[in-house]
Amino acid sequence: MQAHELRPPKGSKHARKRIGRGNASGQGTYSGRGVKGQKSRSGRKPRRFFEGGQTRLLKTLPKKRGFRNPFRVEYSPINLSDLEVLDEKTEVTPALLKEKRILRSLRKPIKILASGELTKPLTVSAHKFSLAAREKIEAVGGTVMVINGDSE
């Protein structure tokens, strides 16, 4: 095929509608503008989103505010008081927490917080630990295991 042989697909090109060329053309008299009014006249049109002097919708809606950090990691918090229900020397994993209904979902990483007291030695595996939680777990003879990542 040569460049001079290229043609647009059939039906993709349309003749321009000739407006205001008499009633026989199908677009005579008002030329598709309706009857009277600001938008039927020649010249300038009202600006975009103009609502006849009423406060336009765009101004009535609240603006986005603040900053949303796209790199923020949201953790599922678990307190030491939640771990108190588990038996002594239990290996605490995210799957066990989900099974015991301490944790709702495994989608978010887990952070262990120091709220409450722990009286039993446990082996706790989580993605992050608060410093006080780590100290409290180790104080009762438990061990802390960080799952893939650094801890605070």
Same domain, 37 and 86: no
pLDDT of residue 151: 46
Q: Is 125 helix (H, G, I), strand (E, B) or coil?
A: strand
Q: What is the mean pLDDT of each run of 10 residues along the chain (152 residues)?
A: 94 92 92 90 88 90 90 96 93 95 95 95 96 96 86 48
Same domain, 122 and 92: yes
Task: Report the alpha-carbon distance of residue 78 to residue 111 in Å, rounded.
Answer: 6
Same domain, 82 and 142: yes
Query: Is 11 within the bounds of a domain?
Result: no
Tokens of residue 113, six digits: 């917080």
Same domain, 127 and 92: yes
Task: Please state the length of the chain.
Answer: 152
Task: Report the alpha-carbon distance of residue 83 to residue 102 in Å, rounded.
Answer: 8
Query: Is 70 within the bounds of a domain?
Result: no
**Domain of residue 114, CATH code:** 3.100.10.10
Q: Is 137 helix (H, G, I), strand (E, B) or coil?
A: helix
Q: Is 126 helix (H, G, I), strand (E, B) or coil?
A: strand
Query: Which domain does 32 fall in, by range?
Result: 18-62
- What pTM was estimated for this model as a whole? 0.58
Domain count along the chain? 2
Query: Is 1 within the bounds of a domain?
Result: no
pLDDT of residue 150: 54
Query: Is 122 within the bounds of a domain?
Result: yes
Q: Please say whether the dihedral angle defined by the alpha carbons of residues 117, 101, 134 and 109, taken in this order, is positive or negative.
A: negative
